Amino acid sequence: MRDDTIVIFDTDCVLCSGAVGFLLRHEADTTIRFASSRTETGARLAEAHGLSAADLDLTFLMIRDDNALTRSDAALCLAGHLRRPWRWLRVLRVVPRPLRDAIYGVIARNRLRWFGQRDSCFLPPPAQAHRFLDRPGRL
């Protein structure tokens, strides 16, 4: 069965695009596809799963087999796509979701202040560009 996972993220955020770069470098498989929250593709996918553009300012969206995950649930599910030792982060699911999401929320609200905003467009590594849904010619 093909894993149909899409991650919609803020390409202007240094932390968010850095996290995608980390995922690309440490993933166990290459089945995840990506979209920018700042594009029509990302906005359409988010809206189809009940999130607005404003929601995407405070979380990223992971769509897996047409189910939407956000905040810490999405982050910990993505950890399952990583190679060891990173995939062991999934053990944090034992922490109650309200506590995990509260910590996630503090980071999400402050991410641009703490980590900054990109001065130029996010460009995926050329070898991985085919996995980005909103690259030129795909919209």
Domain ranges of the chain: 5-129
Nearest to 49 by CA among 40, 59, 58, 62: 62
The angle at the Cα of 107, spanning 67 to 114, to the nearest 5 degrees, equals 135
Helix (H, G, I), strand (E, B) or coil at 61: strand
Using one digit for the tens of pLDDT, what is the confidence trace for 8-36?
Answer: 999 889 999 999 999 999 999 888 999 99
Q: Is the pTM of this model over 0.85?
A: yes
